[in-house]
Structure 1
Amino acid sequence: MSPLPRPRRSSAAAAVMVAATGALVLAGCAGPGASGSSADEPQIVATTTQVGDFTRELVGDEVAVTQLLSPGQSAHGFDPSAAQLLALSDADALVVNGAGLESWLDDAIAASGFDGVLVDASTGIELFGTDDHDHGDHADEAEDSGDGHEHEHEGESEAAHDDHAHGEGNPHIWTDPELAEHMVENIAHGLAEVPGVDTAAVEANETAYLEQLHALDDWIGENVDRVPVADRLLVTNHDAFTYFVDAYDITFVGSIIPSFDDNAEPSAAEIDELVAKIRDTGVQAVFSEASISPKAAETIGAESGAKVYSGPDALYGDSLGAVGTDGETYVGSQVHNARLILESWGVEPSPLPAVLAG
């Protein structure tokens, strides 16, 4: 796991003083579903849409969660506003994805003077790099988790960890629901250290939510297992689904943006190479992502003959969706993604388990 970098001073510190004159705009920073805060309740800030959703599931409606990133907004190039820095300066806890995703975080902490409890949701999770292994070959390396499909991140051997440790780690750990369970456990453990948090309520909410995530993992795995391994092919906008494809023994043919940073741009040669791979492997679908322009995906679809999933049929990758969309919550986003991917393979998913259908 990549540790969070040590805060360093930057010119952004002046933004906190500017923010002090505009504190009234903080109401707009609260994440979806947040309740109004009072002076007696803990002030909790979360960075991304995913950890914001996890945190709200744990604290319930009694505690407001200020979420820095908005639905559809990527963390890769995020720049917090003055008002958000002020919210961070007043926070009792800051919940982060970690794993190097929030590259702007050290500056934001230094600028705001945040000195509360820092909760890193990625603690203990081993990271993949961009070229650690061929996703199509990992099935033989994975250990059977006993739930009908394979996960190899938890409890990896020291040798496997060393193999995965080189280079920059891929931070999109939430795309594997089993790793999302570990993130939720980390957040719950961290929130227990925050004065004023109802730890009994957090523990009860954690138990209920982990049951949902486990059911989600099983449901996806059982449906993916209906597809022959050779037919489990995936092309996405960028390399955000490494942990998802690894969890369910899917072959990741390639991404339009050859990076896990969605701000990167593919070259003409890289586009030509991906089109050739799509034709050679027989990939039937190219998936755009809800937070990324579909133009490049549409170009590659036109050149390769593959169907392009975009608009309401785009995948939720770097960000959850707006209120009222399938991707409003983490569970909803994962169900949405799995259904579309299964559809592209010609599979009608089974009904959702009762714990998810409510």
Structure 2
Amino acid sequence: MISRRSGARHGLRTTIATVAMASAGALALASCASPAASEEGSGGPSVVATTTQVGDFTRAVVGDDVEVTQLLAPAQSAHSFDPSAAQLLALSEADALVVNGAGLESWLDDAVSASGFDGVLIDASTGIELFGTDDHDHSTDAAGEHASHEHTGDAHGDEHADEASAHEGHDHGAGNPHIWTDPALAVHMVETIAAGLADVPGIDATAVEANEQAYVAKLDALDAWIRENVETVPPAERLLVTNHDAFTYFIDAYGLTFVGSVIPSFDDNAEPSAAEIDALVEKIRATGVQAVFSEASISPKAAATIAREAGVTVYSGDDALYGDSLGVAGSAGETYLGSQVHNATRILESWGVTPSPLPALLQG
């Protein structure tokens, strides 16, 4: 169970011991980075974030006064990432490293060792119980638990701890790492990131606290807006087919039924077999699903093929969901908040629902 945040920030902080310096070859690789890359971190604390989501959370928390280097680019897979020499150099000079955790960054240990990073490691998944790889039978019951998510003032840490702890009892080993797809778990991630960064030398802890509270308020508004709109749809009609198994926590949070995914895995590098494609087409026909969703960071070809064979709509291109990655600059999914609004809007539209206006906190 997640410990409550009031008076317990230190319980959310994780530090990393000094690791052995990399081999001579790895160090030589890092030293080949451009001079500009090594000069960027001068003049103040530097923070490295791994994925697009935790990068966005981190920037929201620290504001404009702290340099944040994001390793993964928009539309880049976190499952098969390989950091460049310049990125290893940035990591070697970082005061803090923020990661999604939950097993998503399988390459992380090697990158830390190769860079010689010895700063503060902040695992945003700390305290969150993970769902197993095939754990989709809990959505209806969990929706009721999640619906109690309310708070006022500075007490938000207590309520959000309860949200994340609803996942307790599920596989915490090789579990599904896409925790950010549930906005209530995103709140927990943001609080964990803020707690870890508050102790980094040179970072203004007061500013971090203020930024955290402002951003959490937006996440709360997002969660309430999605719930309000999803609840206009009868539970039996809340059906979803995605490109890969990346939306488990969103499905659980809002009481959706997961019919299946084009790629039957939470690793977007996997490929479906002909038998798996045929089985999904049959499920779509049998359940009455109206749409198959591609994802912005994955080729839409297989999703389009399945949708065509099943006789349903495929959401791709600008209408694709943002799963493993946020979108490029200027897209609807450029930020976490924008990506979630986009995803919820498209899913609701596939059910025939026109979403209500966004709350004021999410406008502009």
TM-score under structure 2 normalisation? 0.88
- Could you say which residue in structure 1 is the equivalent of 2:355? 349
Name the aligned partner's letter for residue 218 of structure 2.
Answer: Q
Contact 1:284-1:307 within 8 A present in 2 as well:
yes
1:52 paired residue number: 55
Counterpart in 1 of 2:135? 132
Counterpart AA for 1:305: G
1:108–1:280: structure 2 CA closer, same or farther, 3 Å change rule?
same
Give how far 1:26 is off.
2.6
Alpha-carbon offset, residue 155 of structure 1: 2.7
Cα 1:267–1:119 change in 2 (3 A) is same
Shift of 1:145: 1.7
Q: Tell me, in whole angstroms, the C-alpha distance in 2 between the residues paired with 1:135 and 1:123.
A: 22
Over 6 Å off, 4+ runs:
3-13
1:17 maps to which residue? 28
User: Which residue number in structure 1 is paired with residue 87 of structure 2?
Assistant: 84
User: Which residue of structure 2 aligns with residue 215 of structure 1?
Assistant: 221
Kindly tell me: are residues 198 and 140 of structure 1, through their superposed partners in 2, closer, same or farther at Cα, counting changes over 3 Å?
Answer: closer
Deviation track 1:21-66 (CA, whole Å, cap 9, x = no partner) reads 3233638xxxxxxxx9562310110000000000001111111100
After superposition, give the CA deviation of every residue in 1:102-128 in whole Å (9 maximum; x if it has no partner). 000000001111000001101111100
- In structure 1, the residue matched to 2:339 is 333
After superposition, residues 153-192 of structure 1 pair within 5 angstroms as 154-156=164-166, 161-162=168-169, 164-165=170-171, 168-192=174-198
Matched, 1:123 2:129: no
CA distance in structure 2 between the partners assigned to 1:346 and 1:7 by the alignment = 54
Question: CA 1:332 to 1:166, structure 2 compared with 1: closer, same or farther past 3 Å?
Answer: closer
Measured in 2, the distance between the counterparts of 1:12 and 1:81 equals 16
Contact 1:321-1:328 at 8 Å conserved across structures: yes
> How has the CA–CA distance of structure 1 residues 41 and 71 changed in structure 2, closer, same or farther, with 3 Å as cutoff?
same
Deviations 1:328-356 (A, max 9, x none): 00000000000000000000000000011
Task: Decide which moves more: 42-51 or 7-16.
Answer: 7-16
Q: 1:180 to 1:14 in 2, by over 3 A?
A: same
Amino acid at match of 1:161: E
Q: Unaligned stretches of 5+ in structure 2?
A: 2-13, 151-160
Partners of 1:155 and 1:339 in 2: how far apart?
27
* Partners of 1:306 and 1:5 in 2: CA distance: 49
The alpha-carbon deviation at position 7 of structure 1 amounts to: 10
Instruction: Tell me the distance in 1 between the aligned counterparts of 2:110 and 2:138.
Output: 35
Equivalent position of 1:33 in the other structure? none
1:129-170, CA deviations, whole angstroms, 9 ceiling, x for partnerless residues? 1123425554588464255xxx985234xxx734x1265110
Unaligned runs of 5+ residues in structure 1 are: 28-35
Say how many residue pairs are matched: 343
User: CA 1:171 to 1:10, structure 2 compared with 1: closer, same or farther past 3 Å?
Assistant: farther
Counterpart CA distance in 2 for 1:269 and 1:10 is: 47
On the 8 A contact 1:92/1:117 being kept in 2, the answer is: yes
| Residue of structure 2 aligned with 1:320, choices 310, 319, 326 | 326
**Which deviates further from its counterpart, 53-62 or 36-45?**
36-45
Q: Quote the Cα distance in structure 2 between the aligned partners of 1:210 and 1:338.
A: 19
Q: Indicate if the aligned counterparts of 1:6 and 1:106 stay in contact, CA closer than 8 A.
A: no
Match of 1:42 in 2: 45
1:280 is paired with a residue whose SS is helix
Deviation at 1:11, TM superposition (A): 8.1
1:82–1:73 CA distance, 2 compared to 1 (3 A): same
TM-score for both structures, normalised by structure 1: 0.89
Select between 277-286 and 134-143 the one with higher mean Cα deviation.
134-143
Q: CA deviation at 1:178?
A: 0.3
Distance across 2 between alignment mates of 1:187 and 1:146: 20
In the alignment, which residue of structure 2 is the partner of 1:31?
Answer: none
1:106 and 1:194 map into 2 onto residues whose CA distance is 21
Question: How far 1:4 moved relative to its partner?
Answer: 12
Indicate how the Cα distance of structure 1 residues 4 and 338 shifts in structure 2: closer, same or farther if over 3 A, else same.
farther
- The CA deviation at 1:193 is 1.5
Do the aligned residues in 2 keep the contact of 1:47 with 1:68 (CA within 8 Å)? yes
The structural deviation recorded for 1:255 is 0.4
What amino acid is aligned across from residue 85 of structure 1 in structure 2? Answer: L
Give the conservation status (yes or no) of the 8 Å contact 2:48–2:96. yes
Secondary structure class of the residue paired with 1:79: coil
Is 2:148 the counterpart of 1:145?
A: yes
Within 5 Å, which residues of 2 pair with 1:218-233?
218-233=224-239
Question: Any idea what SS the aligned residue of 2:69 has?
Answer: strand
Aligned to 2:252: 246
Q: Take 1:117 and 1:6, find their aligned partners in 2: how far apart are those partners?
A: 9
* Preserved CA contact (<8 Å) 1:16 1:112: yes
Shift of 1:15: 3.1
CA distance in 1 between partners of 2:134 and 2:226 (Å): 25
Percentage of identical aligned residues = 69
1:205-250 residue CA offsets vs partner (Å, 9 max, x unmatched): 1110000000000000000000110100000000000000000000
Contact 1:126/1:153, CA 8 A, preserved across alignment: no
